[in-house]
Chains A and B, each alone.
Chain A
């Protein structure tokens, strides 16, 4: 890798844009999110997953959110500390869900 101090000043479009993806890439991501949305509607209307529908829906939602995060929010090229913050927020929400659900989903065993 060349020494940044000796590299000539960035003048090309690519250098100026840095971590911003090109419009065709963004367009593909945009279409992918909408296709996944159509899939969610299809899965829900057909009822093919029965009682697991919610989990499949949330799974697809997570893929959509990951696409938004990686491409629209630039996590793909993000600083490590930013990626760590994003992952930490998901991790904390995981703690919230595990503790919360382990209480509420087991209460009926005591009460009833």
Chain B
């Protein structure tokens, strides 16, 4: 490690690099704790209504596109792997590997959002929407035929759009941070001593991935998906 690199990476208010890295990690973890509580509120509200209106929630969930969501799960989990490999490359000073893994993570995250966009378009086309006037099509017709309360079905759809929407916003912010890391790598600002910059972004990215692992069964796997199989 050259004295020059050391001095540009180490901020003046830290004793040494180890202390700086530990502080950066702790800072991000403190933020992640607030994120857990933020999503915890949504999970709590969902759990309550899922238990209250089990039949309607399971019915509405069966209209969600499980195929798209499953592919998206694979995209996100794979992106978490490539992000962790990026930290390894950063630590080893493997700039080409760092680029490759960051760009792979970015591509997988973008693919997630693109697929999500197609999914929303399909939902819109099939009138799987929570608004009183926009809600319609097969989901409404079948719910009425089965004697289910359409208001409660629409409540599930509110959860679906709010939860996936907020999660999507988190993904977009994460993608922005990864692009920034790519730029920093290009500008030679991520030497091995500064690997924690990649690690801090990766912590955020993994949390967003972990939240999806809960959203996936809650939104897509509450019902038996007999409706989508039928048509």
A residues whose Cβ falls under 8 Å from a Cβ of B: 13, 16-18, 20-21, 23, 26-27, 30, 33-34, 37, 40-41, 44-45, 47, 51, 53-54, 57-58, 60-61, 64-65, 68-69, 71-74, 78-79, 81-82, 85-86, 88-90, 92-93, 96-97, 100-101, 104-105
CB contacts between A and B, total, < 8 Å: 139
Given A97-B47, A100-B48, decide whether A30 and B37 contact each other with a Cβ distance below 8 A: no
Contacts of A104 in B (CB 8 A): 48, 52
Contacts of B224 in A (CB 8 A): 44-45, 47
Chain A residue at smallest Cβ distance from B89: A20
Interface string of B198-231 (1 = CB under 8 A from A): 0100110011011001101110011011000000
Q: How far is the CA of A24 from the CA of B135 in the complex (A)?
A: 48
A16 touches B217 (CB 8 A): no
Q: How far is the CA of A93 from the CA of B50 in the complex (A)?
A: 18
Write the nearest CB–CB distance from A20 to chain B, whole angstroms: 5
B36 touches A90 (CB 8 A): yes
Q: How far is the CA of A98 from the CA of B50 in the complex (A)?
A: 16
A79 touches B26 (CB 8 A): yes
Is B80 interfacial (CB 8 A cutoff)?
yes
Is B30 interfacial (CB 8 A cutoff)?
yes
The residues in B between 164 and 191 inclusive whose CB is less than 8 angstroms from any CB of A are none
Q: Which of B47, B85, B88, B210 contacts A68 (CB 8 A)?
A: B210
A26 touches B85 (CB 8 A): yes
Q: How far is the CA of A96 from the CA of B44 in the complex (A)?
A: 8
Q: How far is the CA of A100 from the CA of B48 in the complex (A)?
A: 9
B37 touches A79 (CB 8 A): no
B92 touches A73 (CB 8 A): no
Chain B interface residue count, CB cutoff 8 Å, equals 51
Other contacts beyond A72-B84, A72-B209, A86-B32: 5, CB < 8 A? A41-B66, A58-B218, A61-B214, A65-B210, A96-B40
Q: How far is the CA of A66 from the CA of B118 in the complex (A)?
A: 31
B25 touches A64 (CB 8 A): no
Given A65-B213, A82-B25, decide whether A101 and B87 contact each other with a Cβ distance below 8 A: no
Interface string of B23-53 (1 = CB under 8 A from A): 0011001101100110011011001101110
A72 touches B48 (CB 8 A): no
Q: How far is the CA of A41 from the CA of B44 in the complex (A)?
A: 22
Chain B residue at smallest Cβ distance from A17: B91
Given A58-B214, A68-B210, A85-B29, decide whether A34 and B36 contact each other with a Cβ distance below 8 A: no
Q: Which of A16, A54, A90, A93 contacts B91 (CB 8 A)?
A: A16
Given A68-B206, A93-B37, decide whether A82 and B91 contact each other with a Cβ distance below 8 A: no
